[in-house]
A = this chain, B = another copy of it.
Amino acid sequence: MTLVNGHPAESVDALDRGLAYGDGVFRTLRTEAGQPLWWGDHYAKLAADCAALNLACPDEAPLRAEVCRVAEAGEGVAKIVITRGAGARGYAPPHHPDCTRIVLSAPLPAHAGPDAPDDVTARWCALRLARQPRLAGIKHLNRLENVLARAEWDDPAIFEGLLCDDSGAVIGGVMSNLLIAKAGELFTPDLSQCGVAGVARTRLLRALERHGIPHHIGRLLPDAILAADEVMLCNSVIGVRRVGRLDDVTWTPAGWTTTLNDALYEDVD
C-alpha cells in the first residue's frame, strides 16, 4: 500500500522536485506486527535530514500513523519519502514549498528474514564516492552513486559491495554501514565527507557507549578492514550481519556480531 500526502495513491505529480532533482530525503525501516521498529530514532533522523535540506518535516504522530496504516501484516519494510513537492521548472526552491510525503510498504526481503544466513559475502566496488560535506550523512534522494555501485555485480551470492571515497578511505556498504572489531575495540568510518549515517549505526554507537565498549569513528583504509578480527555490516532492515568473505579473504566468527545485534535491539531509550 502507498500513501501520498495521506491518501492511497499509486502516483506522484510529474513535476515533483523529488523526481526532477532528487530534492528530498527518505527513510527505510522495519515494521513488526504493524508497528515501526526504532521509530524514535527514525523520526529524529528524518527530522535532521529534512532540516539539513531546509525541508519541512511532517509532524511525528500522523506520520507514524501512516506507517502503521501501510505496514504489512507480520514483518515488513516501510519507506518514507519527503520531497520539496511540485514546482515550476528551475533549481530555485519555492519560497513556500508544499512538500510531498510518500509512505509505502514492502515485504521483508529474504536476505533480512529469519532464514537469512548468519554471515554474508561482500566485494570491493570500483566506484569511488565523491566527497561532498554539505550532503554527507544525509539519506537524500541523490543516490546514483549507490545505483552505479550496485550495478557492478549481478551474482546473488554477493550480499553487499564496499565503497571507498576518492581519497581511498573506506566509507561503508552500498546499502549498509560498516563496523570492524580489532583487539577488543570497534571502529566505524567517519561519514563527514560522504556516505549515509544510518539509524542502526547510530543505535550501535549509543549501545557501545552504554556498555563501555571502546569504539572509534575515523578514517579506515582497506588494509584495516582486511586486518580486522570481525567485519560487520548494519542497517535498519538487516540488523548487524557478519562478513564471512570479502572477495578472496575469509573470516571465522569472533563473537562480535552476536554481541552487537543484542545491543542493537535493546529497548532502553
Interface residues of A (CB under 8 A from B): 2, 4, 9-23, 26, 28, 53-54, 77, 79, 81, 83-84, 88-93, 102, 104, 106, 109, 127-132, 134-135, 140-151, 166, 174-175, 194
Contacts and interface: CB of A to CB of B under 8 A. Distances in A.
A235 to B, nearest CB: 12
A138 B151 CA distance: 18
Contacts of A17: 147
Given A11-B11, A91-B149, 19 more contacts: A4-B14, A17-B147, A22-B142, A23-B144, A23-B147, A53-B148, A77-B89, A84-B147, A90-B150, A91-B147, A91-B174, A93-B151, A130-B130, A130-B131, A130-B132, A130-B135, A131-B166, A135-B144, A140-B144
Nearest to A126: B134
Contacts of A102: 14
Contact of A142 (B26, B88, B143): B143
Nearest to A151: B93
Nearest to A140: B144
Contact of A92 (B20, B22, B106, B151): B151
A91 B148 CA distance: 8
Interface centre among A11, A54, A109 (most CB of B within 10 A): A11
Contact of A11 (B2, B13, B54, B83): B13
Contacts of A140: 144
A77 B174 CA distance: 37
Nearest to A103: B14
A59 B79 CA distance: 34
Contacts of A92: 150-151
A130 B132 CA distance: 5
A9 B12 CA distance: 11
A54 B147 CA distance: 11
Contact of A21 (B2, B109, B134, B141): B141
A93 B14 contact: no
Nearest to A92: B150
A194 B166 CA distance: 13
Contact of A14 (B2, B21, B134): B2
